[in-house]
Amino acid sequence: MEKLSDDFNKRFLDLDENYKVIKNNIAEAAIKFGRKPEDIILLAATKTVPIEIINHGINLGIEHIGENKVQELTEKYDSYDLSKCELQFIGHLQTNKVKYLIGKVAMIQSVDSMKLAREISRLSLSHNVKTDILIEVNIGKEPNKSGIIPEKLNDLLYETATLPAINISGLMAIPPADANKRDTFNYFTNMYKYFIDISSKKLDNVNMQFLSMGMSADYADAISAGSNMVRIGSALFGPRIYNKKI
Ligand SMILES: *Cc1c(COP(=O)(O)O)cnc(C)c1O
């Protein structure tokens, strides 16, 4: 028991420090891009992170948390301190699991097909809610990766915009993990172009509020390229510890 609480104490202290550093880095990058620091949303990516640590982060001021597995989100759901924070879904989502999320999450960031969007809309309608979604773009056109390829983005956008119970609130992307710094920056820049281009179309039901890109290794570059929402896991919480009971 003592071992466990020592471990937690260290993780709390690390999180205090990491949060401060990241907030500073975000502010610096925002100003470089000509934005206000408070215009950039820090979303904590909390996969594998124990609920005590997550709630400590919420107490520090983290207002957005994102899970990427439906089962993990469901298991933790009753324990998140959601009075000061909203929950989002950021991972790959199967159509048959949408039912576990509707009414629980403020936004689903990973919509990449009409089939998925239709199910989100259908279940939202039956819950009498509207669900905010981001369209996930496979910006590196990687095979076997989630996200719609850029060439098909407009078609998916026009189609999903017809659905009654979703709001299209922006775009999300995860560039190829093995890309170098310059290529990654170019992927971010291309995403920003799509984001601006779609914003200018002023489509009904499409409100380009969020450009969600940038993770622990590259969030400052993402912000410098136009991201206004970064999803940060390990830089906040330390390395992920898998197969440990949450
Ligand atoms: C885990 C995860 C992140 C955060 O990754 P880190 O590199 O640990 O910051 C961001 N986005 C998604 C979709 C994730 O699953």
Residue nearest to ligand 1 atom 10, measured at CA: 231
In whole angstroms, what is the distance from residue 94 CA to residue 90 CA?
12
What atom in ligand 1 is closest to the CA of residue 91?
A: 13
Place of tokens 């999803």: 231
User: What lines the ligand 1 site, CB under 6 Å?
Assistant: 45, 47, 68, 90-91, 215-217, 231-235
Q: Which of 90, 92, 242 to mutate to test the pocket of ligand 1 (most atoms within 8 A of CB)?
A: 90
Give the predicted TM-score (pTM) of the model: 0.96
CATH fold, domain 2-237, is: TIM Barrel (3.20.20)
Instruction: Identify the three-state secondary structure at position 177.
Output: coil
**Beta carbons within 8 Å of 150's beta carbon, 6+ residues apart:** 137, 138, 139, 141, 190, 194
What atom in ligand 1 is closest to the CA of residue 215?
A: 9
What is the Cα gyration radius of the chain?
18
Cβ–Cβ under 8 Å, residues 179 and 221: no
pLDDT at 6: 77
What atom in ligand 1 is closest to the CA of residue 240?
A: 8
pLDDT at 140: 98
Residue nearest to ligand 1 atom 12, measured at CA: 90
Question: What distance in angstroms lies between residue 34's CA and the mean position of ligand 1's atoms?
Answer: 26
In whole angstroms, what is the distance from residue 135 CA to residue 36 CA?
25
What atom in ligand 1 is closest to the CA of residue 217?
A: 7
Q: Where are the domains of the chain?
A: 2-237
Enclosing H/E stretch for 212: strand 206-212
Identify which of 77, 129, 75 has the alpha carbon closest to the alpha carbon of residue 107. Answer: 129
Place of tokens 């950039």: 40
Residue nearest to ligand 1 atom 4, measured at CA: 233
Cβ–Cβ under 8 Å, residues 43 and 229: yes
Residue nearest to ligand 1 atom 11, measured at CA: 231
Read off the tokens for 36: 């206000």
pLDDT at 2: 53
Angle of CA points 83, 64, 222, to nearest 5° = 165
* pLDDT tens digit at each of 246 positions of the chain: 556 677 889 999 999 999 999 999 999 999 998 999 999 999 999 999 999 999 999 999 999 999 999 999 999 999 999 999 999 999 999 999 999 999 999 999 999 999 999 999 999 999 999 999 999 999 999 999 999 999 999 999 999 999 999 999 999 999 999 999 999 999 999 999 999 999 999 899 999 999 999 999 999 999 999 999 999 999 999 998 876 554
